[in-house]
Chain A
C-alpha cells in the first residue's frame, strides 16, 4: 500500500501525462491537416451569421415545401423499410448464430465475422458499388441501407438473445419443450421489447444516413438537398434542412415515448 500522498502524486503525474498526450495528438493533427484552430473556430460565428441571412426561407422556398416534403416522406419510408427487412433477416441469422440458441460454436464465429464484415464496409462503398449495378434509383438506396443495417442488427440481436433470453430458455428446456417451442414461447417474447427498441434506433440512424446515400446515389431528400445546394438556391436549402430537423426530432421524440411504454 502506498501512502496517500504518493498515490495522489502518482495520479497527478498520470493525469498530466494523459492530457499532454491528447494535447500533442491534437497539435500534431492540426499541423498535418493544416487546420488553424483559431481561424477555424472564429469561422463558426461567421458561418451562423451567414446562415441566418442566406438560409432564411423566403416565399419562393415555401412554395417548394410540398415537393421537399414528399421526398422527405419517401426517404423516411425507405429508411423504415430497409430497417424492417434488415431486422427480419438479422433475427433469423442471430437465432442461428447466437451462443444460446445457435447451432454450434463454429456457426457463431462465422456469423459474427459476417456481421462485422458488413458493418465495417463503409456506407459510401456500398452506395457506390450498388449504384454501378442498380443505377440511380430508390432501390439502390434501399439496398445500401439494408446491407449496412443487417451488420449492426445481427450483432445487437445476438447480444440481446445471449443477455436476456438465456435463463427463460433454460427454464423452458427443463420442462421438455422442443426447440421451436423454446424459440417462440421463451426467446421471442423475452427479447421483443429490446428488439423493437433497437429497430427504432436504427430507423433514426438510417433517416440521417439516407441523406448521405441520397447525395451519392441521387435519390430522396439527399438529391433534393444536393440539387438546391449546387445551384446556390440557399433559401431552398434552408427549407430542406428545416424539414429534416423537424422530421428527425419528431422521430426521436416518438421513439423515446414508445421506448418508455415497452421497456
Chain B
C-alpha cells in the first residue's frame, strides 16, 4: 500500500507554503500620499466652510422658488426690454472691441517680456525679476486693476483698457515664456553658432516654432478678456454690455432683458470658442 506520505518521501514533494508576506498590490509612492493629503485637506475645509456658511437667514425653499421664477423669465422669455436691440448690440460690440484690443496689447508687450523672461534665452537674474513682477501683477484681480486705473484716468473705457491690458500682459508673458522654454536648446545654439543676432534668433527660430501655441494661448486670453470686459463693465461701470447687464439685473430688475443680454453674450463666446478651435486645427495640422 502506497500512502500519500510515501509519495512525498520519494519525490521530495512538499506542500506549497503560503508566501511569508502578502504580495504588495500597490507600491509606496509620494504621489499617492500627496493626493490623499490634498483631498483630505480640501474636503475638511469644504466641510467646515459649508457648515459655517452665512446664509443671511434666507429660506432655501422660498429662494429656490424665486430663483426658478427668475430663471424662467431669463431663459424662456428673453426680450430686449426698454433699451431696445440696437443699443444692446452696440454695447456688445464695445465689450468685444475692448477684449480684442486689450488682447492685442497684451500679446505684443507680453511677447517682448516673454522673450526677456525665458530662461533659455537671456540672463537668468533679469528673467527672474520680470517673472516675479508678472506674478504680482497676475495676483491682483483684473477688476482691482481697473478700479486702480480709474482713479487716475477716471471711470470709463480708458481705465478698463489699461486694467485689462495689465492682466493680459502678465498672463501672456507667463504662457508665452513657458512655450519658449519648451524649445529644444539645440535650435537656438545652432543659430547662435552662425553668429545670428538676438532678435534674428527670436524671429527666425523661436517665433515659427511656437506660433501654434502662441495663437492658441492668445485666443484663450481673448475669451478670458471678453468675460473680464463684461465683469469690468458691471463692477466698475466701465461701459459695454456688462454695464447694461448690471443695470438690468441690479437696478431695473428687468429679467427678460437680462435673458436677452445673456443669450447675446453666450452667442459671442461660442463664436469665439469656435474660431479658436478652427485656428488651432489650422496651425496643428500644418
Looking at A44-52, A62-70, A102-110, A167-175, the stretch in contact with chain B turns out to be: A44-52
Contact A40 B158 (CB under 8 A): yes
Query: Does any Cβ of B come within 8 Å of A99's Cβ?
Result: no
Contact A80 B42 (CB under 8 A): yes
Contact A77 B45 (CB under 8 A): yes
Contact B136 A249 (CB under 8 A): yes
In this complex, the interface size class of chain B, counting residues with CB under 8 Å from chain A, is: 35 or more
Contact A211 B143 (CB under 8 A): yes
Looking at B29-37, B80-88, B116-124, B179-187, the stretch in contact with chain A turns out to be: B29-37
Looking at B16-24, B98-106, B278-286, the stretch in contact with chain A turns out to be: B98-106
Which residues of chain B from 73 to 130 have a CB within 8 Å of any chain A CB? 74, 93-94, 97-98, 100-101, 104-105
State in angstroms the CA–CA spacing of A248 and B141 once bound together. 10
Query: Does any Cβ of A come within 8 Å of B205's Cβ?
Result: no
Closest to A85 in B: B46
A182 to chain B, nearest CB (A): 17
State in angstroms the CA–CA spacing of A29 and B64 once bound together. 42
B73 to chain A, nearest CB (A): 10
In this complex, the interface size class of chain A, counting residues with CB under 8 Å from chain B, is: 35 or more
- Judged by DSSP, the binding face of B is helix
Query: Does any Cβ of B come within 8 Å of A241's Cβ?
Result: yes
Query: Does any Cβ of B come within 8 Å of A245's Cβ?
Result: yes
Query: Does any Cβ of A come within 8 Å of B50's Cβ?
Result: yes
Query: Does any Cβ of A come within 8 Å of B193's Cβ?
Result: no
Query: Does any Cβ of B come within 8 Å of A32's Cβ?
Result: yes
Contact A137 B152 (CB under 8 A): no
A135 to chain B, nearest CB (A): 5
Residues of B within 8 A of A244 (CB): 139-141, 144
Query: Does any Cβ of A come within 8 Å of B275's Cβ?
Result: no
State in angstroms the CA–CA spacing of A209 and B227 once bound together. 11
Contact A29 B39 (CB under 8 A): no
Closest to B26 in A: A189
Query: Does any Cβ of A come within 8 Å of B7's Cβ?
Result: no
State in angstroms the CA–CA spacing of A255 and B97 once bound together. 34
Q: Please tell me which one of the listed residues B43, B71, B230 contacts residue A124 in the complex, with CB atoms under 8 A apart.
A: B230
Question: With A122-B265, A124-B231, A133-B64 given, can you name 13 additional A-B contacts, CB distance below 8 Å?
Answer: A43-B158, A78-B49, A122-B242, A128-B250, A128-B258, A131-B250, A136-B56, A137-B53, A139-B58, A199-B42, A211-B141, A244-B141, A249-B136
Binding site for B on A (CB under 8 A): 22, 25-26, 29-30, 32-36, 40, 43-44, 46-47, 50-51, 77-78, 80-81, 83-85, 116-117, 120-125, 128-139, 142, 192-193, 196, 199-200, 208-209, 211-212, 215-216, 225, 229, 241, 244-245, 248-249, 252, 258, 261-263
Binding site for A on B (CB under 8 A): 30-31, 34-35, 38-39, 42-43, 45-46, 48-50, 53-56, 58, 63-64, 66-67, 70-71, 74, 93-94, 97-98, 100-101, 104-105, 135-136, 138-144, 147-149, 151-153, 157-158, 161-162, 227, 230-231, 234-235, 242, 245-246, 249-250, 253, 255, 258, 261-262, 265-266, 269-270, 273
A to B CB contacts below 8 Å, 27 in the list: A33-B98, A33-B101, A33-B161, A35-B161, A43-B162, A78-B49, A81-B46, A84-B43, A120-B270, A122-B231, A122-B262, A123-B227, A125-B261, A132-B249, A134-B55, A135-B63, A136-B56, A137-B53, A139-B54, A211-B143, A212-B142, A215-B143, A241-B140, A245-B136, A249-B135, A258-B34, A258-B38
